[in-house]
């Protein structure tokens, strides 16, 4: 059976239809749950909300039909699929062709089972654990920004970009300003190319030297660079070769 024109998901360098899988018409939409704690207080009619500032991961279920290959068995095909989906235990990009302008960050971890009712095909569900956001593919494009220019976030949620720049002095702090908010790069970071990954909270120089404490902290504590929805005006000093990979994101469904 030719599955070339059917919907598919792409994960770790392969597509589901490479494994003779067709996605069935039973996909579910799942909206991430906000991570909130509630406290009941005497004399108050509503509970006190403690916002943990995050969303919980979701489980994305792909209901598929696996068609038996002429020179194989369903059991062999399942082993090959399990090796593709489940053997690596870290988040990897996952693209679903029906909304291919975004990708998930997913991890195969949940067991599954199905009854072998028909020898020529098998209906089975594969569950992938996904981070609570999807990321725009065009947000992976790196852009060079000159001081005083702006970049627009097309999504309704702030993004945590990767920023790379050349720090030009070791005798003074360097500063990045986004819509007036200051992000200080301490003089102790030295000179040279620095990369800040705001999502992982790590800053490093060429050779992997960690300079996070000089780039992600201010007087108020941890301070990662963010791009808010809409227009972001960017300026900087004691820096050149400023590049940004914005990593636009929205809630996963």
Mind listing the pLDDT tens digit for each residue in 35-60?
A: 999 998 888 888 899 988 889 999 99
Query: pLDDT higher for 47 or 171?
Result: 171
Do 234 and 166 lie in one domain? The reply is yes
Pair of tokens at residue 83: 């090796």
Domain boundary among 109, 131, 153: 131
pLDDT band, very low/low/confident/very high, at 230 (cuts 50, 70, 90): very high
Rg (CA), the chain: 23
How high is the pLDDT of residue 166? 97
Q: What is the pLDDT of residue 225?
A: 96
What confidence tens digit (pLDDT) does each residue in 181-193 have? 999 999 999 999 9
Q: Are both 161 and 68 inside the same structural domain?
A: no
Domain shared by 22 and 121, yes or no: yes
Any domain includes 136: no
Which H or E run contains 83?
A: helix 74-86
Q: Which of 153, 156, 230, 236 is nearest to 196 (CA)?
A: 236
In a domain, 252, yes or no: no
Domain stop point among 131, 155, 189: 131
Tally the domains of the chain: 2
Residues 197, 148 contacting (CB under 8 angstroms): no
Range of the domain at 113: 9-131
176's tokens? 């990045």
Q: Are residues 116 and 200 in the same domain?
A: no
pLDDT of residue 115: 83
Identify whether residues 99 and 200 lie together within a single domain: no
pLDDT at 7 over 90: yes
pLDDT digits (tens, 9 = 90+) for 67-117: 999 899 999 999 999 999 998 899 999 999 998 899 999 999 888 888 877
Whether 253 is in a domain gets the answer no
Q: Does residue 105 belong to any structural domain of this protein?
A: yes
pLDDT at 121: 92
Residue 36 lies in a domain: yes
Q: What is the CATH number of the domain that holds 212?
A: 2.60.120.860
- Say if residue 151 is in the same domain as residue 211: yes
Q: Does residue 2 form part of some domain?
A: no
- On whether both 127 and 156 belong to a single domain, the answer is no
Same domain, 22 and 87: yes
Co-location of 71 and 117 in the same domain? yes
Q: State pTM to two decimals.
A: 0.88
182 and 203, same domain (yes or no)? yes
Structural domain includes residue 237: yes
| CATH number of the CATH domain containing 112 | 2.40.30.200
**127 and 145 share one domain:** no
Which range has highest mean pLDDT (38-52, 119-133, 212-226)? 119-133
Last residue of a domain, one of 76, 96, 131: 131
Q: With cut-offs at 50, 70 and 90, classify the pLDDT of residue 210.
A: very high
- The verdict on 121 and 62 lying in the same domain is yes
Q: Is residue 115 part of a domain?
A: yes
Smallest Cα–Cα separation from 224: which of 145, 167, 137, 163? Answer: 163
Where do we find the tokens 């599955």?
A: 3
pLDDT beyond 90 at 5: no
Contacts 24+ apart (CB under 8 A), 48-55: 54/132, 55/132, 55/133, 55/251
């Amino acid at each position: 059976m030719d599955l070339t024109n059917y919907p598919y998901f792409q994960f770790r360098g392969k597509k589901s239809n490479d494994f003779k899988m067709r996605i069935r018409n039973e996909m579910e939409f799942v909206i991430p749950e906000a991570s909130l704690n509630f406290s009941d207080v005497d004399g108050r009619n509503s509970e006190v909300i403690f916002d943990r500032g995050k969303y919980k991961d979701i489980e994305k279920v792909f209901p598929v039909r696996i068609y038996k290959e002429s020179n194989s068995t369903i059991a062999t095909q399942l082993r090959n699929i399990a090796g593709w989906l489940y053997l690596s235990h870290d988040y990897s990009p996952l693209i679903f062709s029906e909304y291919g302008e975004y990708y998930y960050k997913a991890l195969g971890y949940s067991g599954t089972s199905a009854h072998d009712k028909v020898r020529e095909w098998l209906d089975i569900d594969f569950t992938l654990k996904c981070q609570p956001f999807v990321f725009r593919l065009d947000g992976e494009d790196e852009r060079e920004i000159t001081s005083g220019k702006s970049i627009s976030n097309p999504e309704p949620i702030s993004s945590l970009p990767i920023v790379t720049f050349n720090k030009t002095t070791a005798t003074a702090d360097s500063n990045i300003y986004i819509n007036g908010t200051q992000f200080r790069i301490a003089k102790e970071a030295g000179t040279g190319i620095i990369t800040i990954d705001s999502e992982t909270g790590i800053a490093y120089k060429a050779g992997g030297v960690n300079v996070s404490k000089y780039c992600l902290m201010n007087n108020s504590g941890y301070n990662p660079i963010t791009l808010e929805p809409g227009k972001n005006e960017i300026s900087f000093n004691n820096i050149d070769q400023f590049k940004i990979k914005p990593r636009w994101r929205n809630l996963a469904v």
